[in-house]
């Protein structure tokens, strides 16, 4: 009996110990101070949103078999050569990359609660080839501008059109815009302390979070820039359209001189108008509801939030966005941050659908049922 058949049997065997993970796991679930490496045949491979999952069968201390699960980033990032922690790889990730019975070695941070699961850092196949894990993406990041001229600009302002992806310089940028927490009012502090994020120093397990994004609600502005997913800018003389891969959210920024409308109901992403100051697009966004967080660490805001973005090209291959957050209800004074983005014009926006935990588990169970029904005898 070959290893693929063995792996297929392991999935349904009664002695196989397994743990079901939620759709969104969060860094707090894993112990980043410890690393484990385990080798075994693949039992399941889920190249699906929001997180790619890999399962292998590993002998247990009592002579049985334990199914270990490993969590990776989204399929879109893996397919683009980006792995955990911004590492790079050359493997071509598709839903057929790993098959039941393939012998692989998983290395990652184990679950804090002792469950047989890990946040994956590296996968090595039977030939010793690393399928994920490599040089840090930050080392590739900024560099010097290339020789392409920045002089090719449209008459009004700079042409910002193109596909852009995050360019982090500090670890906190994965979840926050500033290293320090901004000074808050008593109202803001109370809400901040009530938040339970899955990222940052106060991170909790997803089962304990109250982050609205884990209910598949829109991210809001400026939080949309804190998620590691690309966005595309399409520019016309009268408006700028920003299309984000994250949840397929879009923003229309009107540059034709119109003003913000009065009497509109509060919205998730706010209402944006823009104007040019030389080569910089200045975007003022207001009319928010108060149900989103400013970042992924739980910073709150009220319906009086006002966000000003100053967007410009620093070179043909780099975009700079200066962000100013003003909310007198939540913060004692306005505060600012800067984000860098690099050109990735050879990419395309992919589907990125958010599933709440129950929907994800239902989908996972449906896949298992299908595989069990169609497995050869």
13 shares its domain with 89: yes
For the record, the structure tokens of 44 come out as 């399941």
- Asked whether residue 151 is assigned to any structural domain, the reply reads no
Outline where DSSP puts E strands in 51-113: 53-59, 65-71, 103-110
- Asked whether residue 149 is assigned to any structural domain, the reply reads no
> Mind listing the pLDDT tens digit for each residue in 86-120?
788 888 898 889 999 999 999 999 998 889 999 99
Rg (CA), the chain: 23
Give me the number of domains the chain comprises: 2
pLDDT at residue 295 in the model:
97
Q: What is the pLDDT along the chain (377 residues), one digit of tens a residue?
A: 454 444 444 444 434 444 444 445 556 678 888 999 999 999 999 887 778 899 999 998 888 999 999 999 888 888 888 888 778 888 889 888 999 999 999 999 999 888 999 999 999 999 888 999 865 433 333 333 333 333 333 444 579 999 999 998 888 998 999 999 999 999 999 999 999 999 999 999 877 899 999 889 999 999 999 988 999 999 998 999 999 999 999 999 999 999 998 888 899 999 999 999 999 999 999 999 999 999 999 999 999 999 999 999 998 899 999 999 999 999 999 999 999 999 998 899 998 888 776 676 676 677 777 677 776 66
- Asked whether residue 207 is assigned to any structural domain, the reply reads yes
pLDDT at residue 134 in the model:
64
Of 268, 225, 275, residue with least CA distance to 246:
225
- Asked whether residue 122 is assigned to any structural domain, the reply reads yes
188 shares its domain with 332: yes
Domain range holding 50? 3-137+353-374
Report the relative pairing of strands 16-17 and 36-46 from DSSP bridges: unpaired
266 shares its domain with 358: no
225 shares its domain with 329: yes
180 shares its domain with 85: no
231 shares its domain with 260: yes
Task: Determine the Cα–Cα distance for residues 5 and 42; give it in Å rounded to an integer.
Answer: 11
- Asked whether residue 147 is assigned to any structural domain, the reply reads no
> Mind listing the pLDDT tens digit for each residue in 154-197?
444 579 999 999 998 888 998 999 999 999 999 999 999 999 99
CATH number of 29's domain: 2.40.50.140
- Asked whether residue 229 is assigned to any structural domain, the reply reads yes
- Asked whether residue 296 is assigned to any structural domain, the reply reads yes
For the record, the structure tokens of 155 come out as 């008459």
pLDDT at residue 7 in the model:
46
CATH number of 285's domain: 2.40.128.20
Q: What is the pTM of this model?
A: 0.70
208 shares its domain with 325: yes
212 shares its domain with 325: yes
- Asked whether residue 242 is assigned to any structural domain, the reply reads yes
């Amino acid at each position: 009996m070959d290893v693929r058949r063995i792996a297929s049997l392991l999935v349904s065997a009664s002695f196989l110990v397994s743990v079901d993970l939620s759709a969104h796991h969060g860094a707090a679930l894993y112990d980043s101070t410890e690393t484990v490496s385990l080798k075994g045949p693949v039992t399941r491979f889920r190249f699906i949103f929001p997180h790619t999952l890999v399962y292998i069968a590993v002998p247990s201390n009592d002579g049985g078999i334990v199914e270990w699960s490993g969590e990776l980033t989204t399929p879109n990032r893996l397919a683009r050569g980006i792995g955990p922690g911004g590492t790079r790889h050359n493997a071509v990730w598709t839903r057929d990359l790993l098959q039941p019975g393939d012998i692989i070695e998983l290395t990652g941070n184990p679950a804090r609660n002792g469950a047989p699961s890990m946040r994956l850092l590296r996968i090595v196949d039977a030939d010793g080839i690393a399928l994920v894990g490599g040089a840090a993406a930050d080392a590739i990041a900024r560099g010097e501008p290339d020789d392409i001229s920045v002089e090719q600009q449209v008459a009004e302002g700079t042409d910002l059109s193109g596909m852009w992806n995050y360019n982090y310089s500090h670890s906190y940028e994965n979840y926050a815009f500033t290293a320090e927490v901004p000074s808050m009012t008593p109202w803001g502090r109370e809400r901040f302390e009530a938040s339970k994020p899955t990222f940052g120093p106060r991170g909790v397990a997803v089962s304990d979070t109250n982050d609205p994004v884990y209910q598949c609600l829109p991210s809001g502005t400026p939080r949309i820039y804190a998620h590691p997913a690309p966005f595309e800018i399409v520019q016309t003389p009268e408006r700028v359209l920003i299309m984000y891969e994250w949840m397929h959210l879009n923003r229309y920024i009107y540059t034709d001189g119109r003003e913000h409308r009065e009497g509109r109901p509060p919205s998730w992403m706010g209402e944006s108008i823009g104007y040019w100051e030389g080569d910089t697009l200045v975007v003022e966004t207001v009319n928010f509801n108060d149900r989103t967080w400013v970042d992924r660490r739980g910073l709150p805001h009220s319906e009086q939030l006002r966000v000003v973005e100053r967007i410009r090209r620093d070179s043909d291959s780099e975009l700079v966005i200066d962000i100013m957050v003003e909310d007198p209800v939540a913060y004692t004074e306005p505060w600012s941050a800067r984000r860098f983005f690099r050109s990735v014009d050879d990419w395309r926006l992919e589907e990125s659908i958010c599933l709440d935990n129950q929907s994800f588990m239902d989908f996972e169970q449906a896949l298992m049922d299908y595989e069990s029904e169609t497995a050869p005898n």
